[in-house]
Amino acid sequence: MKQIIHLTINGKAYEVAVKPNQTLVDLIRYDLGLTGTKKGCEVGDCGSCTVILNGKAVNSCLVLAMEADGCDITTIEGLETEEGLHPLQQAFVEKQGAQCGFCTPGMILSAKSLLDKNPKPSEHEIRKAISGNLCRCTGYAKIVTSIQAAAEELAK
Amino acid sequence: MSQYDVINTRAPRLDAADKATGRAVFVDDMKMPGMLYGALLQSPHAHAKILSIDTSQALKLPGVKAVVTHKEAGAVKYGVSPARYDETLFCVDKARYVGDEIAAVAAVDLETALEAVSLIKVDYEELPAVFTVDDAIKEGAPQLHDEYPGNICAEVHQEFGDVKSGFAESDLIKTTIFKNKRQDAGFIEPQGCLAHYDRSGRLTLYSSTQVPHYVQRTVAMVLGLPIGKVRVVKPYVGAGFGIKAAANPMEMAACLLSMKTGKPVKMSFTRKQVFMYGRARHQFVHKLTTGVKKDGTIMALEHEAWLDGGAYASFGIATVYYSGSLLGGPYKLPHMKYDGYRVYNNKPACGAQRGHGGVAARAAWEQQLDMIAEELHIDPIELRLKNMMVTGDVTCNDLNMSSLGMKECIEAVREKSDWDGKKGKLPEGKGIGMACGFFVSGAGYPIYRSDTYHGTVIVKLTEDGGNAIVYTASAEIGQGSDTTFGMIAAEALGISLDNVRVVSGDTDFGIDLGAYSSRQTLMTGHATKEAAESAKNQVLKVLSDELNIPVDEMDVKNNRIVFKNGPADFSALRTRYLKEHRGWTDHPTEDHLTFNEAARIAYLAKGSIVGTGKYKPPVLGGKFKGAAVGTSPAYGCSAQITEVTVDMKTGQITVDNVTGAHDCGLAINKTSVEAQMEGSVSMGLGEALFEEVKFDDKGNVINCDLAEYKIATALDMPQITPVIIETNEPNGPFGAKEVGEGAIMPVIPAILNAVYDAIGKRIFELPLSAERVFFAMNKKDKE
């Protein structure tokens, strides 16, 4: 039976009816239409569904929508402001952090979660932070470079 | 400084912001009013007769709109190569692998569709199955296809020169046998599609594909539709690496279900289904015998290959030819014999994957060349340089190296990696290795026999004169092709990239064979350049009439008209332009005529300015059977030096760094070239160290997820130093050629050679798991 939950996504409050077996990623993508969050495996292996939930990067395919009741969530759509792209997004544009782009939203959110807590990460810390986000295109080289560039920009 | 304004730079990708913001639309992000959801019923048996299919219970389930089997689909045979069309959309008489498609359902939601699938009753009679090459070719083995006795899908026998005399002249003859493992491409977006058959009889298929054109043809052929009524559109695609380079049964099932229901039907593979469908790199066994003279001169290569093909041919005919032909270079090789066999068995079909057909063979040979160098006391780099082809050389199997910066690649990585300071000087457990490789810049011939153009492009100037739109059916799948063609069009038009928009991946825009065989930069690039030049010349022709200046005395550069013989009086044109824009605040005031003004004037004279371009390669290759496979207008080439650390207690390998150089002709976008090199290292590293699709004894994939099937994470990847080597390829647009696949060729053998350098033991089977390395090291200890 569906149940009403309340959650905040990208600063906007939602009241939605969700099924007990519905995952957060399906709620975000299919019910709320925030399709920037991707679905690559549905079992928490690939990281393309990463969102930031209460300050922590999580695989939204491993969270039941009901568990997100009362939570504060940031998806890729929540990073831009009226001023433009978030520095991480800008860095991914400039340093070619994306190829096919399917892992990119999750990658950027894992990086944001890292930089929020650790503004000056080492390269190893960056690699560790995105090690749950699989990318088959880039060899991660330009992703790491993008995150480093964003960290520098944010530190200014 | 580059002579170019737009190309040969590091321009950001045109799609970068869409991808960084989540705006880029992939097929599963799409939704249509009234859309239904489809699901497939797939065989649970590796080999079974289908006695009956009962769909009645499924059809009764509320919410189910259609159920289709071979009865509705018919039995038109299809596949990749017309020479081996061996598949039907749904199994007719029997299933040949776990996952073979039996039926499909469309319902109001996915849950209902899946429940309906479970209600379809199939009466199977299980048949004995075979899962290995050895078992499949045994006398009396179960046969997969009546038409292909002995389970031989294809065999190739070629000899160039005379290997016997080559061996007779050799001082050292070396034989090794090498085996890789079946791979999965590991793209992050599973295949998906959305088919919409409208009431006027037109079918539109949105699909996660590399090849809209081939999908359009296959769908039309299998479903019996006029090809002009079928449109295939590729939204953004989460990579493909070869696996999405042919029509898949899900796409056709969605189309059929949409035709039956009149509603849009969406279908997606789960990750498990991606593995079940397969079509990625074959498992190869390569037996190589190489003869060399004492001074290291390579005299002859005798090569026998066995390909574990799976249940259907897929790309396998091309694979078994590529596996032989791609050893024809880049070394001077007077005599080469090749015997290749591709064998059917009851596993998912293998197909094409990055470095199609050549990756395992290259790994096997580059390792063997290192062994030969050691026995001859020659530095492995010197052995390679001694035998290396140069620009203008033609291989014994008629591949023309119209540009080949192989020596420059080798010299670059030797210097950048400090090879001379490290080779032979590293402590135990540390190793350095090198390897080379090359690949086609586009297959010389289409997959089906045809005189078709390989690419057609339309460049239309917007009627206001300010911008150009490139329409191409080519496939941006992550490699950056849209940006490449935008840059080529901008350069050819003489305008900035900001003023160019690229619309791609739609069969309505023309013919493009798609993203495979590293073909688009060269082939679609040529067509783009021609189309842009045509549009530019149409503008100049109008100017010529207006200003009475010959066309060849004008050009366009940096968004302005260049009058080569000094300033021209264009005041009348400007006046006309300004009159049209009363009240506007951005009037041109420059002392030059802008392209915007000129293109507007051209529109006023001629209507819409549309340039068209086309490309097909010249007739390539020799006269022998299979001569087409391996031909290309140009070849890209790569050298890599890799350093590894091996834990001498556990056998665990860490790749420390990779220095790679690739000759891509002229780099249209330097950042994208590096990105392809880096991505190649990650795929090759995975195959070298941990990737293997595993099966149980019933033919089920047992590691059908991305936890158990390991691909490289950010923590597995070494420091990569990419070096771009630029030659001027005479057959490429602006001198450009491939990078997407050539760069993977040296990855595995460079690791193999580095591991040997670290542990003193050769390993002839992939992946180089800690276990395999451990046992190899212990074997050494006993000796």
pLDDT tens per residue, range B484-519: 999 999 999 999 999 999 999 999 999 999 999 999
Beta carbons of B714 and A140 less than 8 angstroms apart: yes
Domain A3-78, architecture per CATH:
Roll (3.10)
Task: Check B271 against A128: CB less than 8 A apart.
Answer: no
**Per residue, what are the HEC states of B263-281?**
CCEEEECCHHHHHHHCCCC
Q: Which two tokens stand for residue B381?
A: 């780099």
Any idea which residue has 């079992």 for tokens? A43
Pick among B26, B183, B188, B687 to test the A interface (most A CBs inside 10 A):
B188
Annotated domain spans of chain A: 3-78, 87-155
Q: What is the DSSP letter of B236?
A: B
Residue A14 distance to chain B (closest CA, Å) = 20
Task: Check B239 against A144: CB less than 8 A apart.
Answer: no
* pLDDT value for B590: 87
Summarize the confidence of residues B3-16 as an average pLDDT: 98
Task: Check B672 against A38: CB less than 8 A apart.
Answer: no
pLDDT tens per residue, range B143-160: 999 999 999 999 999 999
Percent with pLDDT over 90 in chain A:
99
Q: Would you call A12 exposed, middle or buried from its count of C-beta atoms within 10 A (0-12, 13-18, 19+)?
A: exposed
pLDDT tens per residue, range A30-43: 999 999 999 999 99
Q: Is the pLDDT of residue B231 over 80?
A: yes
Instruction: Give the pTM.
Output: 0.98
Report CA B101 to chain centroid distance, whole Å.
25
Q: Assess B188–A contact: CB distance below 8 Å, yes or no.
A: yes
Q: Which residues of A touch B713 (CB under 8 A)?
A: 131-132, 134, 140
Q: What are phi and psi of B198, to 5 degrees?
A: -95, 170
* pLDDT value for B649: 97
Q: Which two tokens stand for residue B718?
A: 């070494």
Task: Check B186 against A138: CB less than 8 A apart.
Answer: no
Q: Which two tokens stand for residue B15?
A: 């799609």
Residue B22: which of A36, A43, A133 has the nearest Cβ?
A: A36
Residue A143 distance to chain B (closest CA, Å) = 9
pLDDT tens per residue, range B340-383: 999 999 999 999 999 999 999 999 999 999 999 999 999 999 99
**Per residue, what are the HEC states of B476-487?**
CCCCCHHHHHHH
Query: Residues 6 or more apart from B489 whose CB is under 8 A from it?
Result: B459, B468, B470, B500, B502, B528, B529, B531, B532
Q: Assess A89–B contact: CB distance below 8 Å, yes or no.
A: yes
Q: Would you call B26 exposed, middle or buried from its count of C-beta atoms within 10 A (0-12, 13-18, 19+)?
A: buried
Look over chain B and give the mean of its residue pLDDT values, rounded to a whole number.
97
Q: What are phi and psi of B726, to 5 degrees?
A: -110, 120
Percent with pLDDT over 70 in chain B:
99
Alpha carbon distance B554, A124 (integer Å): 55
Q: Which residues of B touch A42 (CB under 8 A)?
A: 270-271
Task: Check A127 against B714: CB less than 8 A apart.
Answer: yes
Report ipTM for this prediction.
Answer: 0.98
Radius of gyration of chain A (CA): 15
Q: Which residues of B touch A77 (CB under 8 A)?
A: 21-22
Q: Assess A93–B contact: CB distance below 8 Å, yes or no.
A: yes
Beta carbons of B754 and B763 less than 8 angstroms apart: no
* pLDDT value for B463: 98
Q: Assess B239–A contact: CB distance below 8 Å, yes or no.
A: yes
Q: Which residues of A touch B674 (CB under 8 A)?
A: 141-142
Q: Which of residues 46-65 of A touch B (CB under 8 A)?
A: 46, 48
Residue B675: which of A39, A133, A138 has the nearest Cβ?
A: A138
Q: Which residues of A touch B680 (CB under 8 A)?
A: 139
Task: Check B185 against A79: CB less than 8 A apart.
Answer: no
Alpha carbon distance B259, B233 (integer Å): 17
Task: Check B22 against A136: CB less than 8 A apart.
Answer: no
Nearest to A147 by CA among A117, A118, A115, A116: A115
Measured at the CA of B667, the angle between CA B483 and CA B482, to 5 degrees, comes to 15
Q: Is the pLDDT of residue B210 over 70?
A: yes
Task: Check B18 against A140: CB less than 8 A apart.
Answer: no
Q: Assess B681–A contact: CB distance below 8 Å, yes or no.
A: yes
pLDDT tens per residue, range B259-283: 999 999 999 999 999 999 999 999 9
Pairing of strands B430-440, B335-344: unpaired
* pLDDT value for A77: 98
Report CA B510 to chain centroid distance, whole Å.
20
Q: Which residues of B touch A61 (CB under 8 A)?
A: none
Confidence band for B2, pLDDT divided at 50, 70 and 90: confident
- List the single residue in A with minimal CA-CA distance to B17: A93
* pLDDT value for B779: 84
Domain A87-155, architecture per CATH:
Orthogonal Bundle (1.10)
Alpha carbon distance B101, B40 (integer Å): 7
Nearest to A74 by CA among A121, A33, A26, A113: A113
Count other Cβ atoms within 10 Å, centred on residue B547: 20
pLDDT tens per residue, range B90-123: 999 999 999 999 999 999 999 999 999 999 999 9
Beta carbons of B519 and B442 less than 8 angstroms apart: yes
Pick among B13, B18, B19, B28 to test the A interface (most A CBs inside 10 A):
B19
Q: Assess B12–A contact: CB distance below 8 Å, yes or no.
A: yes
Residue A15 distance to chain B (closest CA, Å) = 22
What b-and-e string marks burial along B571-610, b requiring 16 or more CB atoms within 10 Å of the CB?
eebbeebeeeeeeeeeeeeeebbbbbbbbbbbbeeeeebb
Pick among A99, A124, A125 to test the B interface (most B CBs inside 10 A):
A99
Q: Which residues of A touch B740 (CB under 8 A)?
A: none
Q: Which residues of B touch A95 (CB under 8 A)?
A: 671
Beta carbons of B160 and B397 less than 8 angstroms apart: yes
Nearest to A153 by CA among A106, A111, A101: A111
Beta carbons of A51 and A79 less than 8 angstroms apart: no
Residue B18 distance to chain A (closest CA, Å) = 9
Residue B21: which of A36, A48, A95 has the nearest Cβ?
A: A36
Alpha carbon distance A16, A2 (integer Å): 9
pLDDT tens per residue, range B587-643: 998 899 999 999 999 999 999 999 999 999 999 999 999 999 999 999 999 999 999
Q: Which two tokens stand for residue A86?
A: 């978030």
Confidence band for B1, pLDDT divided at 50, 70 and 90: low
Nearest to B500 by CA among B530, B469, B466, B525: B469
pLDDT tens per residue, range B387-440: 999 999 999 999 999 999 999 999 999 999 999 999 999 999 999 999 999 999
Alpha carbon distance B643, B434 (integer Å): 9
**Beta-strand runs (E) in B69-109:** 94-95, 101-107
Task: Check B706 against A45: CB less than 8 A apart.
Answer: yes
Q: Assess B20–A contact: CB distance below 8 Å, yes or no.
A: yes
Q: Assess A102–B contact: CB distance below 8 Å, yes or no.
A: yes
Confidence band for B77, pLDDT divided at 50, 70 and 90: very high
Cis ω before B767 (30° cut-off from 0): yes
Q: What are phi and psi of B662, to 5 degrees?
A: -130, 135
Q: Assess B709–A contact: CB distance below 8 Å, yes or no.
A: no
Q: What are phi and psi of B297, to 5 degrees?
A: -65, 125
Summarize the confidence of residues B68-77 as an average pLDDT: 98
Summarize the confidence of residues B40-67 as an average pLDDT: 98
3-state SS class at A22: coil
Query: Which domains can be identified in chain B, with CATH numbers?
Result: 31-127+189-238+244-277 (3.90.1170.50), 355-445+630-782 (3.30.365.10), 452-615 (3.30.365.10)
Query: Residues 6 or more apart from B55 whose CB is under 8 A from it?
Result: B67, B69, B103, B120
Confidence band for B131, pLDDT divided at 50, 70 and 90: very high
Alpha carbon distance B676, B86 (integer Å): 34
Alpha carbon distance A148, B714 (integer Å): 14
Q: Is the pLDDT of residue B782 over 80?
A: no
Q: Assess A19–B contact: CB distance below 8 Å, yes or no.
A: no
Q: Which residues of A touch B13 (CB under 8 A)?
A: 93, 96, 98
Alpha carbon distance B554, B566 (integer Å): 10
Measured at the CA of B427, the angle between CA B424 and CA B433, to 5 degrees, comes to 45
Q: What's the half-sphere exposure (Cβ side, CA atoms, 13 Å) at B404?
A: 25
Q: Is the pLDDT of residue B223 over 80?
A: yes
- Give the dihedral sign, CA B114/B116/B119/B121: negative
- List the single residue in A with minimal CA-CA distance to B275: A41
* pLDDT value for B781: 53
Alpha carbon distance B639, B677 (integer Å): 11
Beta carbons of A71 and A131 less than 8 angstroms apart: no
Q: Which of residues 94-113 of B touch A (CB under 8 A)?
A: none
Q: How many residues does chain A have?
A: 156
